[in-house]
Amino acid sequence: MVDACEQIISILQLRLPEGYRVIVPGMAKSAGTVIALSASEIVMGVNSELGPIDPQFNGIPAELIAQDPESSYRVQQIAKNTIARTEKLAKNVLHLGMWKDKKQEDIDELVKQLSSTQSYFSHAAVINVMEAEKLGLQIQNLSASDELWKKLWLLFCMYDYDCRQLGYSKVFEGARISLIKPLPPPKSQ
């Protein structure tokens, strides 16, 4: 997760040094949340949700693996390193982006809250627009009747439909390029 997330954020920051908005029509969980944190503003609506940024290994929180006396030292260290990298990345992007005017201890506290299984007890926890605003994130909250939200939602639904029909797992859009990642082939039994 961290490698791809760092790469996407690096590209965004280099291409758009003046800042950018991240639009979340549906879910931006885990690495998607870290990417959203890198923006100057997050555009959200009624269907939008962010999620905790606690790294996972096969659905098991790295935080639990790092503390598990049954896990080998090597596995514990991998888990600890992954947590440290994720937290460092989140702190850096907040410091450079939407929280550039905040104190470091405030940034540290937010990242701790987002990355700990003690705050959000499930990796699938929903951080909706109201929760994101409570956390102090820069949110543009669009109502379901907002014309921009209607257009964003329609585009999202059209992409979702096309991806399902054509077997794509992801679509990346930019000013000069569109990339489509096909779904992996089904595993043979």
DSSP character string of 156-176: HHHHHHHHHHHTEEEEEE-SS
**pTM (two decimals):** 0.86
- pLDDT, residue 177, reads 63
Domain 2-142 has what CATH class?
A: alpha beta
- pLDDT, residue 184, reads 72
- pLDDT, residue 66, reads 95
- pLDDT, residue 4, reads 86
- pLDDT, residue 138, reads 97
- pLDDT, residue 70, reads 95
Question: Where exactly does CATH 3.90.226.10 map onto the chain?
Answer: 2-142
- pLDDT, residue 2, reads 82
The segments of the chain whose pLDDT lies below 70 read 170-181, 183, 186, 188-189
State how far the Cα of 13 lies from the Cα of 18, in Å rounded to an integer: 8
- pLDDT, residue 174, reads 62
State how far the Cα of 92 lies from the Cα of 95, in Å rounded to an integer: 5
State how far the Cα of 2 lies from the Cα of 57, in Å rounded to an integer: 12
- pLDDT, residue 168, reads 79
